[in-house]
Amino acid sequence: MLDLRLGESLLTTTIHGVKPMKLFFNNASPFVRKVRVFVRETALEKNIEEIATAVSPVTESPALSKANPLAKIPALILDDGSALFDSPVICEYLDTMHAGRKLFPASGPARWTALKLQATGDGILDAGVLCRYEMAVRPKEFQWAGWVAGQTKKWHGGLDLLEREVGTLDGEPTIGGITVACALGWLDFRYGDDHWRDARPRLTTWYEKFLARPSMQATMPSA
């Protein structure tokens, strides 16, 4: 029974140290990149085996669907074969697997700030990815400009919020900053002609500095 195996696996890893885990990944996915940056920021690279996975909302990967029936990446397979998803859950789990500074603040204002930033970055990506599916996956005759306009307004709004609240990104990296950086990197990758930096100078300055981190440089998106 998978439910029991999940519990046993987590107990085992806690008691005996980090066991090898498998990450279904794709270099183009910004949600996967969050996990890959997180793994590098927490020095867990040696504990993660990455499995290249091609998947879209209309093209399945059988191995992935077996692990995560929602058929989405990232999915993290623990040593007993049970799976964790989505990216917030995977990252928070990995944060318990290393002895360094925690990237999910344990409690109080720092935690809500980090989780709100993560939700903002993920929300920008949800809307951006839906635009991308509309234009790159959906047949041309079924594309609807109203949908793209509505989703674009969402991610533009999210970027404006980040510019206004850019001070919440200050300090050592958290899951919040990692998510925001992966969102901005994905916009550069897929929507370079949107020029998100225009009128968002403080967010731009923050991002350029964050982008220099080895974890970001090692995980640049590619098609």
SS3 148: helix
- Considering the complex, state which of residue 123 and residue 221 has its C-beta at the smaller distance from a second copy: 123
- Nearest approach in angstroms of CB 135 to a second copy is 13
The set of residues, in sequence order, having a beta carbon less than 8 Å from that of 70 and lying 6+ positions away, is 85
Distance between the two ends of the chain, CA-based, in angstroms? Answer: 37
Q: What is the DSSP letter of 42?
A: T
Contact residues for a second copy, defined by CB under 8 A: 1-4, 6-7, 10-11, 14, 56-58, 60, 65, 69-72, 84-86, 88-89, 92-93, 96, 107-109, 112-113, 115-116, 118-120, 122-124, 127, 138-139, 142-144, 146-147, 149-151, 153-155, 157-158, 160-161, 164-168
Determine the Cα–Cα distance for residues 69 and 62; give it in Å rounded to an integer. Answer: 9
- Least spacing, CB of residue 169 vs a second copy, in Å: 9
Shortest spacing between CB 159 and a second copy, in angstroms: 8
Rounded CA separation 126/55 (Å): 16
Distance in Å, CB of 197 to a second copy, minimum: 18
